[in-house]
Amino acid sequence: MSKKIYLFSLVLLALTFTACSETEETGRYDNWRARSEAFIDSIANVYAGQQNGSITVTDEKERLYPFTDLTNGQTIYAKKRISRDGVKDDDKPVYTSKVSAYYRMSYFNGDVVQQNFAGTEPDEFDVPSEFLLNEVISGWGYTLTEMAEGEFWTLYIPYQSGYGSGTGSDGSLQAYSALVYDVKLDKIVER
């Protein structure tokens, strides 16, 4: 009986070492470019599935709009939260405007890269950032020209309209990253 237990233990131990040596650990950012492209394709499929081909209603308070990045022809998708409180539809910036905005930039997998507000939406304790629209990534700059002051949108930006194959000047970004921006246009500082 003890020989069977000993033999069984030895076989179990051998199987454990064999199984461990064949297991590859998958990194969080493995196959990143293909996964980024697949994410944007999935957003595009939601939009393409609509019968009228213009606006996707994801629920009663959100709509999905496509925009074309004029620098490279890529389609950027924006989920616009329908909220009329304090929104002035006629007050939109132009591509050379300086704006004040709240934003959260994250990868498509949810990892937050940069933000100037921490909750689901900015509150009175958060401070917006000011920037020129033509000095940020094209996917962000062109889309903000469609936003009215006070609107809060979620942007789905393909890597070609984001940071491309680059990793940022300090190496802090993943190359080929599809980006998700939560943006609230606070105000137009200068036209």
Domain ranges of the chain: 28-190
Average pLDDT over residues 39-51: 79
What percent of the chain clears pLDDT 90, i.e. is strictly above it?
Answer: 43
| Choice between 22 and 140, residue whose per-residue pLDDT is larger | 140
For residue 180, what pLDDT is reported? Answer: 94
Share of the chain above pLDDT 70, in %: 71
DSSP 60-101: TTEEEEEEE-TTT--EEEEEEE---TT-BTT----TT-EEEE
- When pLDDT is averaged across residues 42-69 and rounded to a whole number, the result is 66
Residues 6+ apart with CB under 8 A from 82: 60, 61, 62, 63
Q: What is the pLDDT of residue 117?
A: 95
Q: What is the mean pLDDT of residues 106-132?
A: 94
Phi and psi angles of residue 135, each rounded to the nearest 5 degrees, phi first: -115, 5
What does the pLDDT read at residue 53?
44
Distance CA 20, CA 5 (A): 22
Please, which pLDDT band fits residue 190 given cuts at 50, 70 and 90?
A: very high
Question: Per-residue pLDDT averaged across 89-118, rounded?
Answer: 92
Give residue 47's pLDDT band: very low, low, confident or very high (50, 70, 90). Answer: confident
Q: What pLDDT is stored for residue 22 in this prediction?
A: 47
Mean pLDDT of the chain: 80
pLDDT tens-digit series, residues 121-152: 899 999 999 999 999 999 888 889 988 898 88
pLDDT of amino acid 9: 54
Mean pLDDT calculated for residue range 75-82: 78
Hey, what are 51's tokens?
A: 């019968």
Q: How far apart are CA 173 and CA 54, in angstroms?
A: 33
Count CA atoms closer than 13 A to 26's CA, side-chain side: 4
Side-chain half-sphere of 71: how many Cα atoms within 13 Å? 18
Torsion of CA 122, 174, 163, 185, to 10 degrees: 0
pTM of the shown model: 0.77
Question: CATH class for domain 28-190?
Answer: alpha beta
